Amino acid sequence: MSEITFEGLFKRYMSGTLNAGEIRLFRSMALQPENKALLSQLLQEAFNDPAYAESADFDAGEMALEVMMKARQSEAIPVLHRTKPSIVARPWFKYAAAAAIFLLLLAVSWEWNNRKKTGTGTIAQASQSPRGTARPMLILGDGTRIALDSAANGAIAQQGSAQVIKLANGQLAYKQFSQKNTGLVYNIMQTPTGCLYQLILPDGSHVWLNAASSIRYPTAFPEDKRMVEVSGEAYFDIAKDDRKPFIVTAKGMDVQVLGTSFNVMAYADEAAVKTTLVQGAVKINADRILHPGEQAVLHHASGELSVNKPDMEEILGWKNGEFYFRNTDISTIMRQIARWYDIEIKYEGDMSGIELSGIVSRTAKISQLLKALELTKIVRFKTQGRTITVMPYQEAN
């Protein structure tokens, strides 16, 4: 019986002759770091040969997506593919473009995996800001600002009847040391561009803040209700308390819960406020009930409130350290990129109808991400300092 090699499995995968068990073995071996260099070499050789690519019984984009989606069950592995036909006439080019994307982002995925193994806590991504100044900030009741990335672990402030504590894992938490009513004292937690942060509210509820977001909350909740205010995007896992409803206010939308998990997106540059329910039940603006998997959308221009069923992986991708796009228009994609990398976006030409799908780790450098988007042959970018100009690919040539 001949020895099974990764190279042999690769060639048979490309020709479509692997059985189900061999495909699983190939996927597993493709994700092993020791096979990284060989996989890159094999892909380059295969996709650089037009005759081979034209006659092979495979779809390169599907291959990349299959391998990466399989890996995402345990790791955050990025992949990007296009959702509209390439304008390039040569039939084999679609394979070469997909391969180039696959190779580029596969390299990023290994860097991401290595970082995860030596992670630096919940604010590790703060250091990604291109300008080097991104710092998660706690603003105390008297206006004092504390940069949390440089604050030592342990008690960092006293606010009313509570101690503010930075935990060993980097999270922020509150510990009540007195039952004496000292009045409401509010804190504000802010994340800049390029930074995620997690905190534990005084009632034990967990909050994840996306980039360029903030939450305002009392350091001790009163007896009748728990109310916080959000700008930007936040994911909540609420501690259940039937006596105290939890209320999130976000640019005209009120979300009332008892104990549940949900996502609120309320950026100033978006056309609507969106609340997406993951688990439990919430009431929107006092009368609209959401069920798990549903999203309430409050449109700024019309004031209309609608409910739909979104792609949950796309909604929660940021919380998992990913850009996750599924048939997402280019302007929405670029707004997310701008918040994360602290850049300004301009457009040239007709960008209508341009949609992309894909999964990219937020640890990728912006140059890698833009290069991956360009390899779709749909869009191209011009970089001048912190300004990125987006153009349709054909108009950029």
Would 215 be classed as within a structural domain?
Answer: yes
Tokens of 38: 């060989």
Query: Coil, strand, or helix at residue 394?
Result: helix
Nearest-angstrom CA–CA distance, 142 and 140: 5
Structure tokens of 46?
Answer: 């295969």
Q: CATH number of the domain that 330 lies in?
A: 3.55.50.30
**SS3 state of residue 277:** strand
- Residue 40's pLDDT is 64
Neighbours of 53 (CB within 10 A): 22
Residue 295 above 80 pLDDT? yes
Q: Which domain holds residue 280?
A: 226-314
Indicate the average pLDDT of the chain. Answer: 78
Q: Do the domain assignments include residue 127?
A: yes
Burial of 284 (0-12, 13-18, 19+ CB in 10 A): buried
Q: Which two tokens stand for residue 31?
A: 């994700």
The better pLDDT of the pair 135, 147 is held by: 147
Looking at the structure, tell me whether residues 202 and 230 fall in a common domain: no
Q: Domain boundary at 164, 194, 222, which?
A: 222
245 shares a domain with 217: no
| 372-376 CB contacts, 8 Å cutoff, 24+ apart | 372/80, 372/101, 372/104, 372/105, 373/80, 373/333, 375/80, 375/97, 375/100, 375/101, 375/104, 376/80, 376/81, 376/82, 376/86, 376/97, 376/101
Backbone angles phi, psi at 392, to 5 degrees: -60, 145
Q: Is residue 304 part of a domain?
A: yes
For residues 94-108, average pLDDT:
41
Task: Dig out the tokens for 134 from the structure.
Answer: 């991104």
Angle (CA) 7 10 13, round 5° = 155
> What pLDDT does residue 103 have?
40
The reply to whether 60 and 81 lie within a common domain is yes
**Cα–Cα distance list, 92 to 48, 57, 88, 248, 371 (Å):** 9, 12, 9, 52, 20
| Mean pLDDT value of segment 164-174 | 93
State how many domains the chain has.
4
Statement to judge: residues 217 and 238 lie in one domain: no
Locate tokens 């009313």: which residue?
Answer: 160
85 and 160 share a domain?
no
Same structural domain for residues 113 and 125?
no
Which residues have CB under 8 Å from 96's CB, separation 6+?
47, 48, 53
Lowest mean pLDDT among 109-113, 116-120, 178-182: 116-120
> SS3 for 174?
strand
Boundary (domain end) residue, out of 222, 251, 269: 222
User: Of the segments 200-209, 326-335, 375-384, which one has the largest average pLDDT value?
Assistant: 200-209
Q: Domain ends where: 287, 314, 341?
A: 314
Determine phi and psi for 223, rounding to 5 degrees. Answer: -75, -25
In a domain, 274, yes or no: yes
CA 11 to CA 76: how far, in whole Å?
Answer: 26
Whether 1 is covered by a domain: the verdict is: no
- What's the pTM value of the predicted model, to 2 decimals? 0.72
Share of the chain above pLDDT 70, in %: 73
pLDDT at 97: 40
pLDDT at residue number 88: 29
Please indicate whether residue 254 or residue 135 has the higher confidence score (pLDDT).
254
Q: What is the pLDDT of residues 23-64, one digit of tens each?
A: 778 777 876 777 767 876 776 565 555 544 444 444 444 444
Residues 216 and 251 in one domain: no
φ, ψ of residue 120 in degrees (nearest 5): -120, 30
Q: Is 151 within a domain?
A: yes
* Span 259-283, average pLDDT: 95
Name the band, by pLDDT with cuts 50, 70 and 90, for residue 378. confident
Is beta strand 172-176 parallel, antiparallel or unpaired with respect to 162-166? antiparallel
pLDDT at 390: 96
CA distance 54 to 218: 63
- Asked if 18 and 113 sit in the same domain, the reply is yes
- Decide if 260 is inside a domain: yes
Task: Please check the confidence at residue 99 and state whether its pLDDT lies above 80.
Answer: no
Could you tell me if 104 and 202 lie in one domain?
no
> Which stretch of 3-7, 263-267, 344-348, 385-389 has the lowest confidence by average pLDDT?
3-7
Using CA atoms, how far apart are residues 159 and 140, in angstroms rounded to an integer? 8
- Residue-wise pLDDT for 366-377, tens only, equals 888 888 788 777
Residues 62 and 13: their CA atoms lie apart, in Å, by 12
Same domain, 109 and 129: no
Same-domain pairing of 239 and 303:
yes
Do residues 296 and 369 both lie within one domain?
no
- pLDDT tens track for 58-92: 444 444 444 444 444 433 333 444 443 322 222 33
Cα gap 235→307, rounded to integer Å: 19
